[in-house]
Structure 1
Amino acid sequence: MTGPVIDLGDLRHQPEPDTLPRPPRASGRPLRCALVLLFVLVTLVAAGPLPRRAVQTLPAQVGSEALVAGDLFLVIDPITTQTGQRRLAAFRLPGGEPAWQTPLPADGQSWWVTPLDGTLLATGHRSNPDGESTVTVALDRATGAYRWQQPGSPVLLADGNLLLQSTDAGGSGTMRAVDPCCGTVRWQLSTPPADVTYRAVDGLVDRVVFSSANGPTEVRDALTGTVLARTDLRTPGGGAYASVQVVDDLLLTVGGVPATVTAYGLDRLDRRWSTIAEGSLYSTECTPVICLQTRSGGVRAIDLDAGRELWSSERWGWVWPYADRLLATTLSSAGPGAEELVVLDPPTGRVLAELGRWELASFRVDGTVVGLRRHPNGGLLIAELDVHAGTARLLDVLPDATGECQSSPGRLLCRRFDGSYGLWQLPD
């Protein structure tokens, strides 16, 4: 299965000085020499003409959405007065030759595509006064031929099937597991108005949690639909919790007065621990710790086993785990576009490295991230951010790129000034 591509949208910051990210907090002559060389390289780039790397131009209309799926460039065209509906077109890479095109159902306002082996799952979402609707269409990857269609948005299950959930205007809906080859329903159930949370292991879902702040919480086996546990998790005084998060084998609730984080065993909903966390709004997974986002915008980290607070900081806007580290944005830079990135040590919150201001184009399994930002002379500056080492390595300057970048192995797809897309080969 081809992994999803992360697209963080246009860069909205004004051109910034071409400053370098700070290295990890270490000393030594080799590190200083490397920084000097990198500084010289960036200075030369800023002072002289921009390099002209070979680029493959790929067609796209203004308002279209695009991604790379292996050897295919996929474009979802916008609705026009001539067409009345959207169209998915595929082009073969690396040459960009047209492969196939197919119309998409008219009830989708926004679309995204998920590659799955020999299938492309095109999911459309529409908001209207009567509520929201989502539909998923399965297409043959080689020809674009229609295979099947089901309501709902898909997630991949641990047994290879797909789980799709759809809701009506009142919040009730249907959840069904289907075979990705032909859309055959394996099981289905009616769902009450509730928040839905998944537990995924290596990106594959095996548990589904239905939770309501004013009702019972229910845990089901995602492979069979079987109920594993069902109980009321509201506080004895009737106070409602604000959020539910699944981390490893725990279900966490945040809420009440005073704000309290409570952990339950996922499959039995047996209470494990509880701790006061004033000002906390919700929890996020920061393996091997749990991060609590506070009302003031700061972060608290607590121990996964006992709920003990390990550290807290009002400096970080967003924190998420990656490559056995935590990536964090500074609160002062939080928002759309490029942000100041730092690497944290999960158990202590200690700053291990300051990477500088970047927008993220992708995450890689080797612990590196592709970062980009505006170059003072135009175009985008591209760098490889190594989270393990806490370093940034300049890769290239793309003079014709404007943003909407997506990275795949060895390649970077970005929108160009004329509305088309460019596919650049990234250097090793």
Structure 2
Amino acid sequence: MDVDVASAPIFIDLGYERGEPPTYGSPGYSTMPRWVPVSMLAVLVLLFAGASAGPVKSPLSTVFQLSVGPSDGYALTERGSLLAQSYGQLSSYDLRTGRLSWVAGESTPSYRLRTVGNLVLMRPLAIGGGDPGTTAVSINTGANRWARTGNVVTVPGSTTLLGVSGLRSVTTGNVRRVTGTVDAIDPYTGATLWTVVVPGTAVLVGVPGPGDEGGRMLLIRDDQTATLQDLSDGSVLAAGKLPQADYGTDNPVVAGGEILLRHPGAVSAELSAYDPATLKQIWTIPVAGTFAAESCGDIACLISAHGLIGIDPATGDRLWSRPGWSTIEQEGRVFVAYAGGQSADNPVGVVDPDTGAIQVRLNGWRPVPGSGGEDALLVTRTGAAGARTMVAVARPGDMQPRLLAPLPAGTGDCQAAPGRLVCRSMYGQLVIWAYGKV
């Protein structure tokens, strides 16, 4: 009988009585799974990468800091300098490097430092009701240039300074109520160029000249007679009589190159515009329900209990209306709208005053005085009690401010300059930080 033999190999298990095969102890190939070395290498790469990266660097870096008194003034100049007064000694520092430029001699501490042209104007605190006078210091060297009695004010568009005696009140704008005399001052020597005698009182308004002819001085006396005078020689360029009105530090105002006066009309309050070169009336519109006018960039704004109205100062035409707004203020090169009264309690946002459009909503962020450079605005925000103050950058076109960093606890009284933030600390230091573009 034929027998079928299977062609597949046959294995016979002989057991381990005769010992293990030699390849069991030292196989000729790796017995470790292939994924193990790859995983170990990935873990090592992550560990070394994390160690080399280090902590995240803050966008704010300290450039330098100074010791100052709690009431010592400081100011930032357009030339990139920091002027700081420490216990009566005025010093100038380069904001970029912190290098000391000059130190002026000892003087009485000033409550405010003002810069105009190549001068720093210093007016000390009045003690005992006397006149502390005004001292001019060179912004380039720190040398005293001149000193004189009374207060010294500036006129936009002109290098001529005005010395005012018996100053009744001062505002942040270009309108002041004066009495006594008004002296035109040579900014280089401090000498009086010409004088106007003011019987009673008068409202002094700085008015821009046509083209590049520089600023002019408008004086409106108690009997409503007005004179427009050239600041170089005091000559009268135009004169006339204005309507009876509540003249003060906010009336009239200069907006868009025109003089705007709010005054009583036949039926209700009216607003009239006057040519700054001839004092001739240009237009008149009714403004019932409003209580003030102000400059809003190149246009004018009417303030009412219901909101803000933008008008064209050349024609009196209404441009826009924003309920709830109370004022628009300029910070550096941008404009900020506020709500809830004429104070910086409730910033609405960075706005375009020509159209009334909101460019960046602030939503609780508060502007830092000064300029962040170009169209940037530095803003701060304080959280709940004990929380640190945050600083951010707001630029037109962004949905919201871009966060920079938190400030140390107890930081305040800040001012901004392009690429720099200057603040007082709770430890009596004036700290200067640098920050990059966000």
Q: Same fold (TM over 0.5)?
A: yes
Q: Distance in 2 between matches of 1:174 and 1:262?
A: 28
Q: Distance in 1 between matches of 2:373 and 2:154?
A: 20
Corresponding residue of 1:14? none
Larger Rg: 2
Q: 1:357 aligns with which of 359, 364, 367?
A: 364
Residue 328 (structure 1) shift: 0.6
Residue 153 (structure 1) shift: 1.8
Q: Distance in 1 between matches of 2:240 and 2:346?
A: 42
Return closer, same or farther for 1:339/1:301 CA change in 2, 3 Å cut-off. Answer: same
Return closer, same or farther for 1:394/1:178 CA change in 2, 3 Å cut-off. Answer: same
Give yes or no for contact 2:74–2:112 (8 Å, CA) kept in 1: no
Corresponding residue of 1:283? 293
Greater relative contact order, per chain length (Cα 8 Å cut-off, separation 6+): 1
Residue 411 (structure 1) shift: 1.2
Q: Is 1:308 aligned to 2:306, yes or no?
A: no
Corresponding residue of 2:422? 413
Return 165-174 or 57-66, whichever deviates more.
165-174
Q: Distance in 1 between matches of 2:166 and 2:296?
A: 33
Give yes or no for contact 2:83–2:92 (8 Å, CA) kept in 1: yes
Corresponding residue of 2:182? 175
Corresponding residue of 1:36? none
Q: Distance in 2 between matches of 1:105 and 1:311?
A: 49
Q: Distance in 2 between matches of 1:394 and 1:206?
A: 41
Corresponding residue of 2:194? 187
Return 64-73 or 180-189, whichever deviates more.
64-73
Q: Distance in 2 between matches of 1:229 and 1:314?
A: 39
Identity of aligned residues (%): 21
Q: Is 1:369 aligned to 2:377, yes or no?
A: yes
Q: 2:271 aligns with which of 253, 261, 269?
A: 261
Q: Is 1:114 aligned to 2:115, yes or no?
A: yes
Corresponding residue of 2:145? 147
Matched AA of 2:68: A
Kindly provide the CA deviation profile for residues 230-259 of structure 1, in whole angstroms up to 9, marking residues without a partner as x: 222115xxx656620122442111121511
Q: 2:389 aligns with which of 380, 401, 404?
A: 380
Give yes or no for contact 1:244–1:282 (8 Å, CA) kept in 2: no
Return closer, same or farther for 1:280/1:212 CA change in 2, 3 Å cut-off. Answer: farther
Matched AA of 2:151: G
- Counterparts of 1:125-144 in structure 2, within 5 Å, are 126=126, 133=131, 135-141=133-139, 143-144=141-142
Over 6 Å off, 4+ runs: 127-130, 201-204, 322-325
TM-align CA RMSD: 3.6
State how many pairs are aligned.
361
Give yes or no for contact 1:302–1:311 (8 Å, CA) kept in 2: yes
Partner SS for 1:175: strand
Residue 157 (structure 1) shift: 6.3
Q: Is 1:163 aligned to 2:161, yes or no?
A: yes
Give yes or no for contact 1:234–1:240 (8 Å, CA) kept in 2: no
Give yes or no for contact 1:213–1:234 (8 Å, CA) kept in 2: no
Residue 49 (structure 1) shift: 11
Q: Distance in 2 between matches of 1:277 and 1:330?
A: 20
Residue 274 (structure 1) shift: 0.6
- Counterparts of 1:243-258 in structure 2, within 5 Å, are 243-257=251-265, 258=268
Matched AA of 2:137: L
Q: 1:66 aligns with which of 67, 70, 74?
A: 74
Matched AA of 1:114: T
Residue 291 (structure 1) shift: 0.3
Residue 166 (structure 1) shift: 1.1
Q: Distance in 2 between matches of 1:129 and 1:270?
A: 42
Residue 50 (structure 1) shift: 10
- Segments of 5+ residues of structure 2 without an aligned counterpart are 1-54, 169-177
Matched AA of 1:355: L
Q: Distance in 2 between matches of 1:204 and 1:286?
A: 23
Kindly provide the CA deviation profile for residues 44-67 of structure 1, in whole angstroms up to 9, marking residues without a partner as x: xxxx99959542221112222223
Matched AA of 1:123: R
- Segments of 5+ residues of structure 1 without an aligned counterpart are 1-47, 79-86
Matched AA of 1:256: P
Q: Distance in 1 between matches of 2:212 and 2:432?
A: 27
Partner SS for 1:278: coil
Kindly provide the CA deviation profile for residues 18-70 of structure 1, in whole angstroms up to 9, marking residues without a partner as x: xxxxxxxxxxxxxxxxxxxxxxxxxxxxxx99959542221112222223445
Q: 2:401 aligns with which of 382, 392, 408?
A: 392
Corresponding residue of 2:123? 123
Give yes or no for contact 2:246–2:263 (8 Å, CA) kept in 1: yes
Residue 354 (structure 1) shift: 1.7
Corresponding residue of 2:175? none
Q: Is 1:317 aligned to 2:326, yes or no?
A: yes
Return closer, same or farther for 1:125/1:248 CA change in 2, 3 Å cut-off. Answer: farther
Return closer, same or farther for 1:97/1:365 CA change in 2, 3 Å cut-off. Answer: closer
Return closer, same or farther for 1:97/1:245 CA change in 2, 3 Å cut-off. Answer: closer
Give yes or no for contact 2:163–2:185 (8 Å, CA) kept in 1: no
Return 60-69 or 412-421, whichever deviates more.
60-69
Kindly provide the CA deviation profile for residues 326-363 of structure 1, in whole angstroms up to 9, marking residues without a partner as x: 5311227x645x63332445455344442322222223
Q: Distance in 2 between matches of 1:103 and 1:218?
A: 42
- Counterparts of 1:192-341 in structure 2, within 5 Å, are 192=199, 193-200=201-208, 206-212=215-221, 214-234=223-243, 243-257=251-265, 258-294=268-304, 296=305, 298-320=307-329, 327-331=336-340, 335-336=343-344, 339-341=346-348
